[in-house]
Structure formats: C-alpha cells, structure tokens
Amino acid sequence: MSVIKIKRYNPEKRKDSYFQEFNVDLQPGSTLLDVLNEIKWEQDGTLTHRMSCRSAICGSCGVKANGHATLACQKQAEFLLDKKTDSITVEPLGNMPVIKDLVTDFKQFWEKVDQVKPFLKNESSPPEKERSQSPEEFKLIDDSSTCIMCGACYSDCNVLEVDDKFLGPAALAKAQRFVGDSRDEATLERVKELSEPGGIWDCTHCGECVERCPKPAQPFYRIKEIMTVALEKGVHDNNGARHALSFTKSVKSSGLLNENTLPVESMGFTNIKGLLELVPVGLRMLLKGKVPPIFHKPCGELNDVKRIFKELDQ
C-alpha cells in the first residue's frame, strides 16, 4: 500500500489547512487523477478536486504533486512515488487562493488573460470568406495556440510568488498568440502595453513555466518572442529593453559583459531618479570589493564572438 498525502482545507469547518493521509493500492497505469477519484469514491466523499475530460485537454485537474504543478490525468501515479517513503504529496496549485481542498480560485488568472486582449484586432473590411493565413505564418503561433489554460505555469511562476502584478506566463503566452498572428493589426500597440511594468520584461528567465507546461506552449519561449518583436518595433523606452540592448552591445563589441556601463544604460541616462537609486548599490559594492575593473578589456576570442553575431544578423 502507498500513502497519498493530500492537503485539505475547508474554511467552513477549520481555518487552517492540514495534510491527511490515505492508503491506496496503486494499480499499474493508474493516473494521479484515478487515485484521487478512488479516494473520493471509496474512502472520503468530502475530498474536493476538479476534473473533466481526463485526456489532458481541458486543463481542469491541475494540482501540485510533490511540490510541482502537473495535470493529474496526465501523470501515472507510480512514477510520482517517492521511493524512500512510498508516498505522493498532493496540494492545490500555487499563487492562487484556495477555495476548498485542491480547488483554487482562478479569478485573478483569468483577469490577467483578459488584460492582454486575447482576440484579433483588425479594422480592415472583412473579406468575403475567412482571413487566410499560410502554414508558415501559422507556425509562428502554433505552439502558443496549444495552451489549455490549466494554470500549471502560473502556479509555479517564481515572479508571481513575490509580485502579483506580473501578468504571468499563461497570459503572456496567450498574448504571443496574437502578437505573432499575421492577421492582427495591433502588433505595435500590443508590444507597447506588454512592455509596461508587470509585462514581458519582469520575467526572471527561470524557465520553471517550461518545466511545468503539459503542452508545447512553453510560455518562456513565447515571452522571448514577444521581447524580440518589441525590440524590432523600437519599443525601447523601458528598463528591460535598454538592459537587453546594453547587454548585446557590450558582448558584441568586446566579447565580455561590461558591468560598469550595463546598470547605467539599463536605467537610462536621462532617468535621474533611477540613476540616483543605483548609488547606494554601487557604494555597497565598493565597500565589499565587488566593483568590476574600470578599464574593460575585450576577451581573447573576440573574432569568434563577432563572427557569431554576424551570422545571427544574417
């Protein structure tokens, strides 16, 4: 018998959450959702969790298994077992209020999806038939179109743990679906809005959303694609874009990162308030002996670096 540790919460009966253990005889091929259903149907009918299609299509059964978000219907229970304890720990998705047991409130999640205006904007006169799109054009949005809004990426996003104003990986992946759509006429407007605080440049590049995504959507790569479009469209008046441009310029010119100019150029030469905020950080670095060399020397393989950039430019 294996032990399934489930985090329980029922605000009508108890203010705090707690773990309850259930003994289950895991059958080969049983998914985590099968196990949760077995517990609910045969051991404790009060256990509350979401489910619908049972085919990894609807996204309803998202939970945390052993600390990481997953679709309960997509993972076989035997592969989730902790071999040392012969147990699986199941919790509700993170970064969302818990309603009861494994059911979370997606209200803020959907509000953030709405913020990116997830619909085509096209003011041109509609054609007699549909607006056509080539296979090559569709490939640009193919991955993001596979998102099933399960909330797994949102649950484990490290930025959302400390900043609930961040749009989150799911909303930004949905945004790329329209930023990259050849039929949409609001690309510049979209990338300007997505470059505001809480948008694309607040992503910390941890890649956790890619690890948790059960589909090919892979939000982090979609965020990077939006960043690329924003830079190409000249949306540079923000710290994130300036940081990316400064980073690229430094490495392209010397093969190394100039850590003296990077923070200043990222903040912006005309941003007096922001530059003054860097002074205490610089003083602390000076006292700790962490200030980079004043004279920035190029790397020994600069020609190779320049060759790589040239190939990328082409």
Q: How many residues does the chain have?
A: 314
pLDDT at 290 over 90: no
CA distance 243 to 120: 30
pLDDT at 293 over 90: no
pLDDT of residue 125: 83
Query: What percent of the residues of the chain are helix, what percent strand, and what percent coil, each to the nearest 5?
Result: 45, 10, 45
CA distance 138 to 228: 18
CA distance 143 to 172: 13
Tens of pLDDT along 142-166? 999 999 999 999 999 999 999 999 9
Q: Could you tell me the pLDDT band of residue 55, with boundaries at 50, 70 and 90?
A: very high
Predicted TM-score (pTM) of this structure:
0.91
What is the number of alpha carbons within 13 Å of residue 147 lying toward its C-beta? 26
CA distance 20 to 124: 58
Number of CB atoms found within 10 A of residue 117's CB: 16
Closest to 90 in 3D by CA, of 50, 42, 149: 50
Reading phi first (left if > 0) and then psi (alpha if -120 to 50, else beta), residue 103 is in: beta
In whole angstroms, how far apart are CA 110 and each of 92, 159, 297?
Answer: 17, 17, 49
pLDDT of residue 11: 95
pLDDT of residue 314: 81
pLDDT of residue 137: 97
Q: Could you tell me the pLDDT band of residue 294, with boundaries at 50, 70 and 90?
A: confident
Tens of pLDDT along 102-138? 999 999 999 999 999 999 999 888 888 888 999 999 9
Closest to 194 in 3D by CA, of 162, 229, 159: 229
Number of CB atoms found within 10 A of residue 137's CB: 14
Mean pLDDT of 181-210: 97
Q: Could you tell me the pLDDT band of residue 295, with boundaries at 50, 70 and 90?
A: confident
Helix (H) or strand (E) holding 2: strand 2-8
Torsion of CA 98, 150, 176, 156, to 10 degrees: 50
What is the pLDDT of the chain when averaged over all its residues?
95
Q: Could you tell me the pLDDT band of residue 81, with boundaries at 50, 70 and 90?
A: very high
Tens of pLDDT along 232-254? 999 999 999 999 999 999 999 99
Residue 4 near residue 90, CB atoms below 8 Å: yes
SS3 135: helix
SS3 231: helix
pLDDT of residue 190: 98
Domains plus CATH for the chain? Answer: 2-104 (3.10.20.30), 107-232 (1.10.1060.10), 239-313 (no CATH)
pLDDT of residue 216: 97
Q: Could you tell me the pLDDT band of residue 276, with boundaries at 50, 70 and 90?
A: very high
In whole angstroms, how far apart are CA 154 and each of 106, 164, 173?
Answer: 10, 11, 11
pLDDT of residue 300: 84
pLDDT of residue 121: 95
pLDDT of residue 50: 98
